[in-house]
Amino acid sequence: MTLYLIKLSQLKMKNTIDPESIRQELQQYESRLISFRKTVHENPEVGFNTRGTLARIKSILEQFGISGLDTETSPGSGFLLIEGNRPGATVALRADIDALPIEEKSGCEWASKNGNAHSCGHDGHQTWLIAAIIYLVKHRDFPGRILCIFQADEENVAGAQSVIDSGVFQKYGVKEIYGAHNEPSLDVGTIAFKAGPTMAACDLFSIRVVGVGTHGARPNFGKDPLPVATEIYNALQSLVSRTLDPLKSAVVSVCSFNTEGSRAYNIISDSVKMIGTVRTFDESIRDTIEEELTRRSQGIAAAYGIKAETVYERRVSAVNNDPELTKDAKEAADRCFGAQNVIELAEPYMISEDFSSYQKVLPGCFFFIGVKDSEHKEALHSPYFDFNDKALIPAGAFFSYLALERLNKLQEAK
């Protein structure tokens, strides 16, 4: 008889995690998590100025006996590394924590009063990541490590790059990353995925048309920039429809159009400024739009003997979900939410997310968690928006389950 000695670590054991048990365990902490979320909502911070938010995150983690939040590695952001009880790969979970510089009008008791507002629901995002951390720290029977990222300055699309530049991914050998956004168009209790291009690239532009100001009664003494700027504006309306491949999506929007200098009723200003945004999913289209916007603006201005100063800024690339990771995440969601509540998006969103910066250096998947019900119908960035707390426990449980599933799968692949 031949004996075979096999190391236990070499056995590819099937993961037997029960997603419902995760949800049930986290349910007992729901009231504490909601209280935390409302406190953060009441005290929103913008950009990288998130010191108070990080202090609150640190405090609630310590209340659950969890220490080690790193707030020094990247400005405004925080990191917590959760280590399993045996070696393995490292995956990252990311939540954004910054707010918007707008006046809240929700009327809820926990509404902000400092002139900023969590009108994009990042108060909920950080709370569902905290829920996941609470579970994962208590259940370390998994291979590898989970890096939890509380990211600042998503709204200005600079926070993700700051995290990357900190070197934290190289430090911990992160293999892949996951993130999510609440979605008011989807019912609470649902979750949505899309492989490939999922959210648009975001570019900004400004066009300053410079003429010669004069008295309104003597327009012939100057060079009025207003009709020239209007012609440029009209020319931009056909840029997408007559320049780009009709099968490829793009949006060019002039969002503000103002004269500069005097606002008097009898003075023709010497300059007009337009600012706007461009959204698309294709890098070659970004190139074409930048070139064509500049050419049309400067060419029209030159035809009238004045000039157009154009500035085009590429802010963030398109979110492009890894197909294999998205497939695995969707299958995990089938088990957590029920297949009937898992949506496969037919079309990408034209809004943008700096999660795409992570996807330039790591494979990743970004998905959407529904928050709509009869009491929560406001759009993102509305001053009336408030996050739906019914999404907290399902989302926290899913992040926990997804991280464990991926670590087990990466271990099996060795």
Kindly state the tokens that stand for 173.
């050998």
User: Which ranges constitute the DSSP H helices of 145-224?
Assistant: 159-165, 168-172
Looking at residue 230, its amino acid is T
Kindly state the tokens that stand for 156.
């200005």
Query: 41 a known binding residue?
Result: no
d(CA 60, CA 33): 9
| φ, ψ at 187 (rounded to 5°) | -65, 145
CA distances (Å), 166 to each of 80, 159, 160, 170, 354, in order? 14, 11, 10, 9, 16
CB 232 within 8 A of CB 308: yes
Residue 386, SS3? coil
Query: 181 a known binding residue?
Result: yes
Kindly state the tokens that stand for 309.
């100063």
CA distances (Å), 315 to each of 164, 202, 204, 340, in order? 15, 6, 7, 37
Closest to 149 in 3D by CA, of 204, 80, 89, 99: 80
Query: 122 a known binding residue?
Result: yes
Looking at residue 286, its amino acid is R
Give the total residue count for the chain: 414
Residues annotated within a binding site: 120, 122, 155, 181, 381
Question: Binding site for Mn(2+): which residues?
Answer: 120, 122, 155, 181, 381
